[in-house]
Amino acid sequence: MYRKLIEPKLSESLIIGGLLALIGGGLDAYTYTTRGGVFAFAQTGNILLLSIHIFDLDYHEALRYVWPIFAFMIGTYVGLEIKHFFAKLRMRRSIRINEQQILLLINAGLLLVIGWIPLGEMDFIANLIVSFVCAMQLQTITRLKGRNFMSTMQTGNLRLGVINFFNFRVTHSLYDLSSAGLYFLIIAIFISGASFCTYLVHMIGKWAILFPFALTCLIALILFLEETPKKNTK
């Protein structure tokens, strides 16, 4: 009842969450299919492959997985610093820039750069940038219709979907059922993004990166348009 009295944030809408899931699936598929079998978001997979190559004493191959892991850590830290910096500026009322838009625009610029990086020996640079971008995306939007969610790492969404479905069976709460449906829908959208980006890789090769680039720009534009009316009414 009381939830209806609260104006929902567009950044927490299914449209934005779905677009982020498309980007997440697309980037993981892109790096895995075009940049040497490295995962963009799934650092657990990179850590596993790193461990296997270390055990095989194949240190040269192991390095391929060290760099994206390191870049993911740096991207997470930088994303937090950017959010903290702009949050302090807003408190001082010196600017009204949304840090989500800043992170998205930085990501869009970096994704565009990746398209110009040649395939082959330069793949590790592309993977560094993509992992950095992925970590930044995780700091951008972390809620979906008031619920915690991850647009990239679907293990957590899978777990939360099952938990909410179990809660629905026990309590018969339609809110729990809708929550479970949202999590499973995000997973399906992630799969769709990965499949479509794989198709684009076969069609246009490394320039398939334009798919997540365009979606990132679209999200930034949507959030910008959301802020515009609010500023004009003041």
**What is the predicted pLDDT for the residue at 45?**
78
Q: Tell me if the domain spanning 10-226 has CATH number 3.10.540.
A: no
List the Cα angle 156/68/158 in 5-degree steps: 10
Question: Six-digit token pair at 161?
Answer: 């979907």
What pLDDT, on a 0 to 100 scale, did the predictor assign at position 97?
A: 65
Q: Residue 193 and residue 47: Cα distance in Å, rounded? A: 24
- Lookup: tokens for 142: 């972390």
Q: Where are the domains of the chain?
A: 10-226
Interatomic CA distance for residues 176 and 171, integer angstroms: 8
pLDDT (0 to 100) of residue 233:
46
| Predicted pLDDT of residue 1 | 37
Cα distance between residue 158 and residue 77, in whole Å = 26
Is residue 141 classed as helix, strand or coil in its secondary structure? coil
pLDDT attached to residue 142: 74
Return the pLDDT at 159: 92
pLDDT in tens, the chain (234 residues): 334 434 457 777 888 889 999 999 999 899 889 988 877 777 777 788 889 989 888 888 888 888 888 999 999 999 999 888 887 777 776 666 677 888 899 999 999 999 999 998 899 899 899 989 988 888 777 777 777 777 777 888 899 999 999 999 999 999 999 999 999 999 999 999 999 999 999 999 999 999 999 999 999 998 887 765 554 444
Write the CB contacts of 198 (distance below 8 Å, at least 6 apart in sequence).
Answer: 29, 33
Strand partners, 143: 148
- For 69, the token pair is 């892991």
